[in-house]
Amino acid sequence: MIPGTKHPLSIVIDEIVSIFSSLGFEVATGPELEDDWHNFEALNFPKDHPARDMQDTFFIKDKPGNVLRTHTSNVQIRYMENLVKEGKEPPFAIVVPGKVFRNEATDAGHEMQFYQLEGLMIGKDVSVANMKWVLIEFFKKFLGEDAEIRLRPSFFPFVEPGFEVDVKHNGKWMELLGAGMVHPNVIKNSGLDPKVWQGFAFGFGLDRLTMIKFNINDIRLFYQGDLRLNQF
């Protein structure tokens, strides 16, 4: 009899959540079936953004205006909206692990469904320096003390300024995540005052980090019931 073991994705998700918990983050969750407001509009996506095309997003035929979420960023909005409804206010720090969906061709590096982790910290004096510290501490704990990060300017609708974050591990630089300071429109759309509150957000693929950690070379193996993955 083969003993039961955790799936590699479950192992990595548990480890990552534990690391962020040690850094003061709480876990938040939200729906995988999402409306346009929380998946796009509130996150400052323009009407003509490519992500809103049917070629990139799974739209639900019998639920007009609903999609399978394309990122876990929808929970940013829902968490802040609920905070306002409950009469509470920041500061807070959350991480959102969960499944997301993209309408794209599959290959060794891409799947139509995969896991992502979103991070969000909001306060009165939160800065890029805070974001860098959190990301450096995380990757040192996850990949080892030799891990380094570097930021490159980039554009994402929901942050300003935005960055691509590269991580150096075992002497090799890898582009692993996007990050930046939360756009004032996103904070305003959530019901908070962007003149008072500011913060940072980041997001990365959990499948990618699992592949790196366990030296798995094909993302599709995660979803095929391949028992070889039970070795970890």
Beta-strand runs (E) in the chain? 26-27, 33-35, 66-68, 92-101, 113-123, 148-156, 159-169, 172-182, 198-205
Residue 214: CATH number of its domain = 3.30.930.10
Within a domain: 3: no
pLDDT in tens, 128-180: 999 999 999 999 999 999 999 999 999 999 999 999 999 998 899 999 999 99
The whole-angstrom distance between residue 158's C-alpha and the CA centroid of its chain comes to 13
**Domains of the chain: total:** 1
Within a domain: 91: yes
Greatest CA separation found in the chain?
61
Question: The domain containing residue 183 runs over which residues?
Answer: 8-231
**Residue 51: per-residue pLDDT:** 66
CB 200 within 8 A of CB 125: no
Within a domain: 47: yes
Within a domain: 61: yes
Dist. CA 67–CA 52, nearest whole Å: 10
In this predicted structure, the answer to whether residue 52 has a pLDDT above a threshold of 90 is no
Within a domain: 78: yes
* pLDDT, average across residues 35-55: 82
pTM score, whole prediction: 0.93
pLDDT in tens, 185-227: 999 999 999 999 999 999 999 999 999 999 999 999 999 887 7
Within a domain: 2: no
Dist. CA 88–CA 184, nearest whole Å: 19
Where residue 1 falls among pLDDT bands split at 50, 70, 90? Answer: low
Dist. CA 222–CA 216, nearest whole Å: 9
Within a domain: 1: no
